[in-house]
Amino acid sequence: MMPDAALRALDAEVEEALASGEESALSILGVGEISVVLGWPQGAPRVAAKRLPLFPGRAAFDAYAEVLGRYLAALRSAGLSVIETELRAVVHDDGRIAGYCLQPALPAESLLHRRLRAVAPSSGLPLVREVVEAAQRAVGERVGLDAQVANWAVDDGRLLYLDVTTPLLSREDGSSELDPNLFLAALPWLLRAPVRRFVLPGLRRRYHQVRSVLLDVCANLIKERLEAWLPAFLEAANERLASPLGADEVRRDYARDARTWATMLSLRRADRWWQRTVRRRPYRFLLPRGITR
């Protein structure tokens, strides 16, 4: 999808931006709660490059590769269309590995949240029903899904799933197949233990039950300023749920979730300031900017 030399050059640009704190030269296609998606080549991007947290070495990278492969296979065998995703490595001088998930860069207008913003809300829209059906097919104790509208694109009228960089696979005992320490490394160290203990189990539960996945999708509509679509999503969800979702429950959930992520992001920003200004060390992660809640 992208020559090695070009990927190494992109990685060098990311490292440079991290070292200087000057991120404005990077071509940014999208931001999630965790990661930033870069476009390559600049100007007319064909590839979306999702940088993963740095891996301490080859073994950790290979373990991630294996879990990612199984996650893609699990979603596809549940009948979801998942965007073509290629995992690549850039080995740094100190032996650490920058991992990138490469995907075809899709036009912004094809992303589901953008598509919904462009048309008047209507119940019974096939795409809305498709989100609900996809969640119902894929989600279970072993396989999780983050079905929020920004994680889908519309390709030829069908939904294509994009958000695979955090593979949500659980073992029989409920523990995560993905080493949570990799992603916890993006947090200030003081926070890692409490997040591992109190936040991760909740996130894991949220993405492994159809009802809570759909509750999350609905709550996220508010964050995306798509609240006008809430009745259509509630209707589609409640056709399938034994215990229906209500608008009040969705609003309460949104408020709680927004607080969690906002606190987490402001602590990460504070940590970045501390590392750069006081410790005079480069901060290793690109932080999402300008998320409105």
Ligand X SMILES: Nc1ncnc2c1ncn2[C@@H]1O[C@H](COP(=O)(O)OP(=O)(O)OP(=O)(O)O)[C@@H](O)[C@H]1O
List of residues contacting ligand X (CB under 6 A):
29-35, 37, 48, 50, 83, 103, 105-106, 111, 150-151, 162-163, 165-166
* Closer residue to ligand X in complex, CB, 111/134: 111
Closest Cα to residue 214, out of 263, 176, 160, 253?
253
Task: Report how many residues bind Mg ion under the rule CB under 5 A.
Answer: 3
Q: How far is the CB of 46 from ligand X (least distance, A)?
A: 10
> Around Cβ 111, how many Cβ atoms within 10 Å?
21
Q: How far is the CB of 174 from ligand X (least distance, A)?
A: 20
Site string for Mg ion, 112-151 (x = CB under 5 A): ---------------------------------------x
* Closer residue to ligand X in complex, CB, 51/272: 51
* Closer residue to Mg ion in complex, CB, 60/149: 149
Q: How far is the CB of 34 from ligand X (least distance, A)?
A: 3
Residue 220 φ/ψ region, left for φ over 0, alpha for ψ in the -120 to 50 degree band, beta for the rest: alpha
Q: How far is the CB of 162 from ligand X (least distance, A)?
A: 4
Residues 6+ apart with CB under 8 A from 32: 150, 163, 288
Distance CA 4, CA 172 (A): 38
Beta-bridged to residue 30, according to DSSP, are: 37
145 binds, among Mg ion, ligand X, none (CB under 5 to 8 A by kind): none
Under the binding rule (CB under 5 A), the answer on residue 32 touching Mg ion is yes
105 binds, among ligand X, Mg ion, none (CB under 5 to 8 A by kind): ligand X
Based on the number of CB atoms within 10 Å of its own CB, is 231 exposed (0-12), middle (13-18) or buried (19 or more)?
middle
Q: How far is the CB of 153 from ligand X (least distance, A)?
A: 7
236 binds, among Mg ion, ligand X, none (CB under 5 to 8 A by kind): none
30 binds, among Mg ion, ligand X, none (CB under 5 to 8 A by kind): ligand X
* Closer residue to ligand X in complex, CB, 105/250: 105
What residues numbered 151-190 form the site for Mg ion, per CB under 5 A? Answer: 151, 163
Q: How far is the CB of 163 from Mg ion (least distance, A)?
A: 4
187 binds, among Mg ion, ligand X, none (CB under 5 to 8 A by kind): none
Q: How far is the CB of 176 from ligand X (least distance, A)?
A: 13
Q: Which residues are near Mg ion by CB under 5 A?
A: 32, 151, 163
